Amino acid sequence: MRKNFTLCVLLLIFVNAPSQQAKQSNNTDTDLIDVAGKILHAKWLQQHDTVHKKSGRLYFSGAPSLGYSLTSGLAAIFVGNGAFFTSELPNQKISLVYLDILYTQKQQFVFRLQNNIWTKGNKFNLVSDWRYYWYPQKTYGLGGQTQTDLFADQTFNYVRIHQSILKTFIPNWYAGFGIAWDHHYGIIQENASQPVANQIQSYGISDKSTSTGLLFNVLCDDRINSINPWGGSYFNFIYRPNFTFLGSDTNYQMALLDYRKYVPFPKSSENILAFWSYNWITFGGNAPYLDLPTTGWDATSNTGRGYIQGRFKSKNLIYGETEYRFKISRNGLLGGVTFVNAQSVTDWPSNQFNSIAVGAGAGIRLKFNKYSRSNVCIDYAFGQGGSQGVFVNLGEVF
């Protein structure tokens, strides 16, 4: 799960998800599935290495659970994913379908369906991101120098449909296009502090907004395992022009650059030094207020550990993070991380970068599935101005 929630798992339903390659899938390691099998004396939890591809077979994992986050309070959650191969070719990439449903103490409801499907021989990559939100949330205005005691309560419905298709042109490089539709409606703003209300009014907001645009995508991904990489890099550049003739409220443009690098350190160990750069820029017009670059509103809701979702918002956002991942127990069940991140958004209306917000923390990793290398990630992070919290994922943060 790629949300900032503390998980308290009530039930696990799973069939081993396959890894793309046998490297570092150690049959002698222990994971949470092994532990559950021993506690429950359940033979059906016996694992089998699924490194050998079998086309058409679905590998499913699911976890109903309870959670807590700074944004939601308590939450009831179901998260599940299905992995499969579309061929049995040696270099065939894993296709993934991800489902996320939650309802929170603050009456937030989220339905998210995402997929990343590779056709035979990895010739085409089909990428979908479909969501529905009913979402009360605080906003603190625009810029990097806003205060946590000055905010407005906003509630909105949000429908998101993004669909892209990419084609390989050289090994590990892909290019393609798609369409994106982001529609907010029933927007209500209440209990607004006067400085925040004045700033939002100066930028502009109404009871509904729509951004409709085209997606032009260039991708390079040479990671062996995208769930928990032990090396390689990831580069994704997206250019999105939005047009009124497609139904957008305004003409404006967006560019997104997402780069990640994974380095074994020390070189002969399983420990990883990971780097992440995430840069989200709008230009050529003003995006609707709720479509502006914002902390924690990236595709996986993971930027800005140490800060509440929506803490910083403006026309442009630059983000960087470094994390060190290391093994603690010899059997691979327990690991740890330390991390530091920094983000900057432009002030309004100057559109200048004038401040940096730093976050840092540490966490533990519990091996969920030793064959797919999927971890349960539990992190404590703190930011400036007393911001702090627990942040949890199923799968690495980046």
Look at residue 1 and tell me if it is in a domain. Answer: no
Which ranges constitute the DSSP H helices of the chain? 32-40, 194-203
Q: Which pLDDT score is estimated for 294? A: 97
Using alpha carbons, list the distances in angstroms from residue 31 to 26, 366, 385: 11, 7, 38
Query: Given a cut of 60, is residue 14 above it in pLDDT?
Result: no
In this predicted structure, which of 36-50, 163-177, 300-314, 323-337 has the lowest mean pLDDT? Answer: 36-50
**Where does residue 101 rank: exposed (0-12), middle (13-18), buried (19+ CB within 10 A)?**
middle
Q: What is the pLDDT of residues 223-234, one digit of tens each?
A: 877 778 889 999
Burial class (CB in 10 A: 0-12, 13-18, 19+), 273: middle
Question: 18 preceded by cis ω (within 30°)?
Answer: no
- pLDDT grade for 18, boundaries at 50, 70 and 90: very low
Average pLDDT, the chain: 86
pLDDT at site 5: 45
Burial 47-59 (b: 16+ CB within 10 A, else e): beebeebeeeeeb
Asked whether residue 4 carries a pLDDT value surpassing 50, the answer given is no
The answer to whether residue 2 sits within a structural domain is no
pLDDT at 55 over 50: yes
- Model confidence band, residue 7 (pLDDT cutoffs 50, 70, 90): very low
What proportion of the chain, given as a percentage, has pLDDT over 70?
85
Residue (of 171, 206, 181, 68) closest to 128 by Cα position: 181
Q: 94 versus 253: which is more confidently predicted?
A: 253
pLDDT for the residue numbered 56: 64
Structure confidence at residue 90 (pLDDT): 78
Q: Is 262 exposed, middle or buried (0-12, 13-18, 19+ CB in 10 A)?
A: buried
38 in any annotated domain = yes
Residue 43 included in any domain: yes
pLDDT per residue as tens digits for the range 246-280: 999 999 999 999 999 999 999 888 899 999 999 99
Write the CATH number for 97: 2.40.160.50
Residue percentage of the chain with pLDDT more than 90: 60
* Other C-beta atoms lying within 10 Å of the C-beta of residue 174: 22
Q: Tell me the pLDDT band of 286, cut-offs 50, 70 and 90.
A: very high
Amino acid at 170: I
Q: Quote the pLDDT of residue 51.
A: 47
Domain of 46, in residue numbers: 8-394
pTM of the model: 0.87
pLDDT of amino acid 12: 44
Give one DSSP letter per residue of 45-95, joined into a string: G------S--TT--EEEEEEEEEEETTTEEEEEEEEEEEE-S---TTPPPE
**Per-residue pLDDT at 68:** 66
80 vs 98: CA distance, rounded Å? 6
* Contact criterion met (CB below 8 Å) for 190 and 197: no
Mean pLDDT of 106-125: 91
337 found inside a domain = yes
Within a domain: 3 = no
Residue 85 is assigned to a structural domain of this protein: yes
User: Can you tell me the distance from the alpha carbon of 397 to that of 324, in angstroms, rounded to the nearest whole number?
Assistant: 12
**Number of domains comprising the chain:** 1
Does residue 26 register a pLDDT over 60? Answer: no
Contact 380, 364 (CB under 8 A): no
